[in-house]
Structure 1
Amino acid sequence: MSNPLRLELDRSAKTPLAEQIHRGIKIAIESAVLAPGARLPSWQDLAAQLGVARGTVRSAYEKLSSAQLIVASRATGTRVVDRPSVPIRQDKAPDPGSFMEMYQELTAGPAIFQMGVPAQETLPATLLARVRAQAVRAELSAPAIYPDPRGELALRREIAAYLALARGIECAPSQIIITAGFSGGLGLALRVLSLEPRKKVWVENPGFPFTRRGLGLAQLSIAPIPVDADGINVAYGLQHAPGAALAVVTPGQQAPLGATLSLARRARLLDWAEQSKAWVIEDDYLSELQLKGRATPALAALDRAGRVIHIGSFSKTVTPALRLGFVVAPASLASRFAEAAACLAPAPGPAVQLATADFMREGHYLRHLRRTKRAYAAQGDALLKCLRPRTADVTLAGLAAVLRLPDGAPDLAIAREATLLGLAPTPLSLWYASKGSVRPGLLLGVATSPLKKIEASCERLLQLIDRST
């Protein structure tokens, strides 16, 4: 009998011959090369055909039998078992109107005007691939020990040096915890703070919906605080939610409206936190990626009472695919953050961290930021140039153009219809916590608006808005 399986054995490989035979037959069965009911050679015949010991094939057959892939009997010989075909399970779509439906809609892409992701064109992909390959080799050749759950010391040192230079924060590497992006940092901070359920937390209104949902999952009571040209209205918070235990703010560039928190409000916010023994989480989502002028120092740079937890990320400055961020813990909380990281949320794998450390140490990160800011500034100007002749109510806010729509306009429906045109504007209404103060609009990502496509994309979007309002 010829060998219908065409099994090829590699006698120089480290994999035992019995395992090679088992794997070859298993693949043939699962790929339907061997149909249900197909007869296999006896283990004695197959051993002769392959030129191996009978015990080797017998061992492979026994393993296949144990997995219920084959069955042997004196009457019918060794055959592939009859198994009903198992349909491939499809992922269940999120429930309509659920948070996960919104999450998937906002993170789908890539598409023009998409928020929250950097431009592919400015990413030094070849350079990053090289340093990551070097880091992977270093990781695989290193001793097999558990890495520091706070993150690689090399990266924590580079981040500390960068923060001192670019964000005005003086901190030790021991205060820095490497996380899986901003959400990982937020989750870690909420675990460390261990606030009682239903404690009030100030959130900007409008503000990042994912953060708001995360605070809700932590059983905290959301207190929406309006924002204006000076950032979050601290006086409003003191009047309407004076007993809050936490405030989550984006002081560098308010998300999504782009205002920088004024110095007076920074001082008042820090004074409230110190006197009330409350905490402030600073979401520094864009770091120093300020398109006009130099970015203001971080809120944590002014904190003398140790009440600010600073969270940064490489998602907007490099790529969200890294899933890499960091927390700067106040000195009084550094050991608690380290314990929480060790037991509940250790840092991502060493390779991505070491690659990022090399990228920063060799000066590539700062050069990348400079090039990126120039490119984004040009794209932002071009976006405004295309939109302003048709609508006066558009402003540049951080890395987005905020395009206001008439009251009552269906910004969510417009955004969903725009996806059919290859566009991904974000509806502004989703960023509001309290629906009574919502004003509809669209957020157009600057980073994902390449110059050569801006004019045509704006025209398609404006035509859609005209039809829908």
Structure 2
Amino acid sequence: MEPLASRSADWVGEALGLELTRPALQPQPLNRRLYQALRGWIQSGRLASGSRLPSSRRLARDLGVGRNTLLEAIEQLVAEGFLETRPGAGTFVADLPFGTGEAPFEPSATPPVEAPEAALSRRGERVLSFCGPSEASHGAFTPGVPALDRFPRELWQRLLKHHQRDAPEAWLAYRTQGGVPALREALCDYLRLSRSVRCRPEQVLVVQGAQQGFELIARMLSDPGDAVWLEEPGYGGAQACFAAAGLASVPVPVDGEGLDLARVPPGQAAPRLIYVTPSHQYPSGVTMSLPRRLALLEAAEAHGAWIVEDDYDSEFRYGQRPIAALQGLTEAARVIYVGTLSKVLYPGLRLGYLVLPEALVAPFRRANARLHREGQYAVQAALAEFITAGHFSRHVRRMRDCYRARQALLRRALAPAVARGLVLSEGQAGMHLVAWLDDRDIERALVVRATEQGISLSPLSGYYLRQPGRPGLVLGYAGARDEEIVRAGEWLAQEWLSLVGAAAADR
């Protein structure tokens, strides 16, 4: 049970009021029940040393009891040393060690009951199968985390304070606009110019991250049992979201040109949704070729399916011209473009957006306002200014330079292993590299050894829906400081060399 700290004194009356409503095993005077409850909380640490109690007048009023009744309990606790009074300041919990050696008073007078079994639904169990450890790790090799140490926090805080201070009263109410108009306009301009997306501001729907966008798409455009075609290997967040929606996942292999529709497993149902990351496939890093893109658009039209285009980190390309979005290739494409600010700014921002075909704008906006509510309008306004004032584009340029340098550091650290045959992905874009392995035993051994060293390694085989997947490692470098990259990279090179050498000796 959490301590009732001194700053939570306002809630002591609420907690005591609940205590008095509990049925007692034996009838007792009210002052005795108050005494036992307060003493038990002090002994168990729920009322921490130094916690200040509300005044007796206020506490008696909150509880609806006579003040003398309450004072009898408090005076007894003062006499026993559990409480102390400070003239002019009030009544406080005495400075006591945690517990007193006695069995703490149990506030509940009802006999303990066995907790019910936490039986999850089949969908719940399925979702958990996509979830890694709950402990967050943001060091070397953690994929998808940007350079939080390079984010312009002071500038951002100034913008936030300005827009929070000047927020109109209407922003405090429920909203159904699809997002702050200024942000939708700023995003629309950015997407048209940098990603060749065909859109008007009205087509942009601001959501609380790409994951919420996937969930909304699944709810609005598919029914449980419908088929969704997914890249293999692919993004676990999308896999989990569509599994939670009860869809039948059909993994479609990815090769050097991206999703290969010619390799859709035979006998599969026509898709309702097709999820792709065409600009920078996650996790392999390949870019979908133009013939594959055109074939995908034709297939979606033929099946009456919707393409979910996840453009999660297209801002970061090194030595290559930007690749136009799939959504902008045709006027009437059955594509929903999904963007996120988590990679380019920071994950805690919890803002993403959908670019919807005209026919879906009104129903999606209404459903989003009903299911998820709209919020963070002051934050959205701050972000709109961040973009329109040029801070966004400058930050992207700085991060491109930063990530290019950090990738080079990682390559240098892994050079001894590369010289002996370790194969890395090209790394012409994005925030991670893939180290391709030939042996699943080596993949497992490296993950275990890395955990012992406090290093987070993501096994490539875990990105496959059909097991066993190809072994490898997804090596994030964007969110790690230079010294972390060097240390972890040199460690990985040495461990890989030792394992490969041992495996070769066993043959």
Shorter-chain TM-score tier: 0.7 to 0.9
Deviations 1:13-61 (A, max 9, x none): xxxxx979969x99xxx9x9964599xxxxxxxxxxxxxxxxx954531
Q: 1:440 to 1:238 in 2, by over 3 A?
A: closer
Aligned partner of residue 403 in structure 1, secondary structure: strand
Q: Distance in 1 between matches of 2:277 and 2:408?
A: 24
- Residue matched to 2:374: 347
Q: Distance in 2 between matches of 1:142 and 1:251?
A: 39
User: Which amino acid in 1 is paired with 2:492?
Assistant: L
**Superposed displacement of residue 173, structure 1:** 1.4
Q: 1:106 to 1:430 in 2, by over 3 A?
A: farther
- Residue matched to 1:458: 489
**Superposed displacement of residue 420, structure 1:** 3.3
Q: Distance in 1 between matches of 2:444 and 2:337?
A: 32
Aligned partner of residue 441 in structure 2, secondary structure: coil
Pick from 245, 255, 263: which aligns with 1:228? 255
Pick from 317, 324, 331: which aligns with 2:358? 331
Pick from 278, 288, 291: which aligns with 2:305? 278
**Would you say how many aligned residue pairs link Structure 1 and Structure 2?**
423
User: Which amino acid in 2 is paired with 1:457?
Assistant: A
1:112·1:422 contact (CA, 8 Å) conserved in 2?
A: no
Q: How does 1:97-246 map to 2 (within 5 A)?
A: 100=128, 103-105=131-133, 108-139=136-167, 144-193=172-221, 195-237=222-264, 241=268, 243-246=270-273
Q: How does 1:73-112 map to 2 (within 5 A)?
A: 83-84=105-106, 100=128, 103-105=131-133, 108-112=136-140
2:336·2:356 contact (CA, 8 Å) conserved in 1?
A: yes
Q: How does 1:27-42 map to 2 (within 5 A)?
A: 35-36=39-40
**Superposed displacement of residue 414, structure 1:** 2.7
- Residue matched to 1:394: 424
- Residue matched to 1:424: 456
Q: Distance in 1 between matches of 2:477 and 2:350?
A: 21
- Length-normalised TM-score, structure 2: 0.74
1:412·1:429 contact (CA, 8 Å) conserved in 2?
A: no
Q: Distance in 1 between matches of 2:234 and 2:345?
A: 23
- Residue matched to 1:72: 69
Q: Distance in 1 between matches of 2:227 and 2:384?
A: 38
User: Which amino acid in 1 is paired with 2:60?
Assistant: Y
Q: 1:144 to 1:125 in 2, by over 3 A?
A: closer
**Superposed displacement of residue 148, structure 1:** 3.2
Pick from 411, 416, 427: which aligns with 2:443? 411
**Superposed displacement of residue 463, structure 1:** 3.2
Q: 1:72 to 1:418 in 2, by over 3 A?
A: same
Q: 1:424 to 1:74 in 2, by over 3 A?
A: closer
Q: How does 1:285-296 map to 2 (within 5 A)?
A: 285-296=312-323
User: Which amino acid in 1 is paired with 2:165?
Assistant: R
1:232·1:249 contact (CA, 8 Å) conserved in 2?
A: yes
Q: 1:57 to 1:446 in 2, by over 3 A?
A: closer
1:199·1:245 contact (CA, 8 Å) conserved in 2?
A: yes
Root-mean-square deviation (CA, aligned residues, Å) is 3.7
User: Which amino acid in 1 is paired with 2:61?
Assistant: E
Deviations 1:102-153 (A, max 9, x none): 6343872121111111012321111112111222222376664323351111
1:188·1:341 contact (CA, 8 Å) conserved in 2?
A: yes
Q: Distance in 1 between matches of 2:264 and 2:461?
A: 21
2:338·2:353 contact (CA, 8 Å) conserved in 1?
A: yes
**Superposed displacement of residue 101, structure 1:** 7.5
Pick from 438, 441, 445: which aligns with 2:476? 445
Q: Distance in 2 between matches of 1:435 and 1:165?
A: 41
Q: Distance in 2 between matches of 1:107 and 1:294?
A: 37
- Are 1:318 and 2:340 an aligned pair? no
1:179·1:346 contact (CA, 8 Å) conserved in 2?
A: no
User: Which amino acid in 1 is paired with 2:296?
Assistant: L
Q: 1:143 to 1:293 in 2, by over 3 A?
A: closer
Q: 1:192 to 1:107 in 2, by over 3 A?
A: farther
**Superposed displacement of residue 352, structure 1:** 1.7
Mean alpha-carbon deviation: is it higher for 239-248 or for 101-110? 101-110
- Length-normalised TM-score, structure 1: 0.80
Structure 2 residues without counterparts, runs of 5 or longer: 1-5, 18-33, 43-54, 83-103, 109-116, 501-507
Q: Distance in 1 between matches of 2:279 and 2:246?
A: 27
Structure 1 residues without counterparts, runs of 5 or longer: 1-6, 8-17, 39-55, 87-91
**Superposed displacement of residue 170, structure 1:** 2.2
User: Which amino acid in 1 is paired with 2:424?
Assistant: V
Q: 1:452 to 1:300 in 2, by over 3 A?
A: same
1:177·1:347 contact (CA, 8 Å) conserved in 2?
A: no
Identity of aligned residues (%): 32
Mean alpha-carbon deviation: is it higher for 74-83 or for 152-161? 74-83
User: Which amino acid in 1 is paired with 2:69?
Assistant: A
Mean alpha-carbon deviation: is it higher for 442-451 or for 103-112? 103-112
Q: Distance in 2 between matches of 1:94 and 1:454?
A: 42
Aligned partner of residue 274 in structure 2, secondary structure: strand
Q: Distance in 2 between matches of 1:244 and 1:37?
A: 58
User: Which amino acid in 1 is paired with 2:143?
Assistant: M
Q: 1:19 to 1:307 in 2, by over 3 A?
A: closer
- Residue matched to 1:378: 405
Mean alpha-carbon deviation: is it higher for 342-351 or for 252-261? 342-351
Q: Distance in 2 between matches of 1:76 and 1:119?
A: 56
Q: Distance in 2 between matches of 1:319 and 1:37?
A: 41
Q: Distance in 2 between matches of 1:165 and 1:353?
A: 21
